[in-house]
């Protein structure tokens, strides 16, 4: 099984890309579905939200009045923080449950709108970002979803900016405005992502096989993402050696690497199974002690 984190700003085209991936065979963990489930009537989540925000966020039938809650939180960072503190942990647990229930050979695509904002990107073996600039996203929210312009702006401003999101992307899927009647390049891009990256990555993980060494040279952003992902909880990591694929790394502990796209290759070595990002990591407890190699970003 491979877990893929799919993200992008509101209106970027996550739902569009999710649909295409499902057509190709992915199992989708849909953010909207999960977000609704954890605050459905009768849940601990809804009780906690009402305790925090008052019964004014309930509709007449006892369900959560999302627009009412949205009006409270989207313009106010503190209130948003309070809501996130309740909902995010519940969402993470539910997401993991749904992913765990997928078949052993599944490519599980998790649509996670706030993947970058919550710092969860390195916990996924692969992060795919759907990219459309903020002005175009605003246009779509107003034109296609009938959102009020101020509301659209507030929602966009409440999320990570485009640069932060791009920096977290292992794969960037550009989805700019398409002229009326122009062919849509997205299905072909998604098909390539599926057949050249996701399927071989999943097969590699299941078979315990390292990915092939890609051509080209890793960028600074590649190195940063590799390091962030190699920092397991409480561990340290450093890149050593040259600046070509495969990147060589030393890690002080290997807890969690199996969940981040790595396969064991002998007692002290883990290799990335990602066909787009070759990494060989040596586990050497103690070697990094006393060295200033920094922590996770």
Binding site for ligand ADP (CB under 6 A): 8, 10-16, 140, 144, 175, 177-178
Q: Distances in Å between the alpha carbon of 11 and those of 58, 105, 130?
A: 26, 30, 10
For the CB of residue 292, give the shortest distance to ligand ADP in the complex, in Å: 39
| Smallest distance, ligand ADP to C-beta of residue 95, A | 17
Neighbours of 66 (CB within 10 A): 13
Decide whether 144 or 163 has the Cβ nearer to ligand ADP: 144
Distant-in-sequence contacts of 133-142, Cβ < 8 A, 24+ apart: 133/162, 133/176, 134/9, 134/161, 134/162, 136/11, 136/176, 136/177, 137/9, 137/10, 137/11, 137/12, 138/11, 139/177, 140/11, 141/10, 141/11
The nearest distance, CB 144 to ligand ADP, in angstroms, is 3
Q: Which is nearer to ligand ADP, 184 or 243 (CB)?
A: 184
Kindly tell me which of 149 and 244 has the beta carbon lying closer to ligand ADP.
Answer: 149
Between 95 and 140, name the residue whose CB sits nearer to ligand ADP: 140
**Distance of closest approach, residue 19 Cβ to ligand ADP, in angstroms:** 8
Q: Min. distance of Cβ 112 from ligand ADP in angstroms?
A: 11
Residue 103: count of CB within 10 angstroms of its CB: 9
Instruction: Check: CB of residue 216 under 8 Å from CB of residue 245.
Output: yes
Nearer to ligand ADP, 159 or 272 (CB): 159
């Amino acid at each position: 099984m491979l877990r893929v984190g799919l993200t992008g700003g509101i209106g970027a085209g996550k739902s569009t890309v999710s649909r295409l991936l499902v057509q190709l065979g992915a199992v989708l963990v849909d953010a909207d579905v999960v977000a609704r489930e954890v605050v459905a009537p009768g849940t601990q989540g809804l009780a906690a939200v009402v305790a925090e925000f008052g019964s004014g966020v309930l509709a007449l039938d006892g369900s959560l009045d999302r627009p009412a809650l949205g009006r409270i939180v989207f313009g106010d960072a503190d209130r948003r923080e309070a809501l996130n503190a309740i909902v995010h942990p519940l969402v993470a647990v539910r997401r993991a449950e749904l992913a765990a229930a997928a078949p052993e050979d599944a490519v599980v695509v998790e649509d996670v709108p706030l993947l970058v904002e919550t710092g969860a990107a390195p916990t996924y073996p692969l992060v795919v970002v759907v990219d459309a600039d903020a002005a175009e996203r605003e246009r779509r929210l107003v034109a296609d979803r009938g959102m009020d312009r101020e509301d659209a702006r507030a929602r966009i401003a409440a999320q990570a900016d485009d640069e932060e999101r791009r920096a977290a992307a292992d794969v960037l899927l550009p989805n700019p405005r398409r002229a009326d009647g122009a062919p849509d390049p997205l299905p072909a891009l998604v098909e390539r992502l599926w057949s050249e990256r996701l399927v071989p990555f999943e097969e590699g993980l299941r078979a315990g096989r390292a990915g092939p060494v890609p051509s080209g040279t890793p960028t600074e952003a590649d190195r940063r993402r590799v390091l962030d992902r190699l920092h397991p909880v409480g561990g340290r990591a450093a890149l050593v050696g040259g600046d070509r694929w495969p990147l060589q790394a030393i890690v002080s502990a290997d807890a969690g690497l199996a969940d981040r796209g790595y396969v064991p290759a002998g007692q002290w070595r883990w290799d990335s199974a990602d066909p787009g990002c070759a990494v060989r990591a040596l586990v050497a407890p103690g070697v990094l002690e006393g060295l200033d190699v920094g922590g996770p970003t």
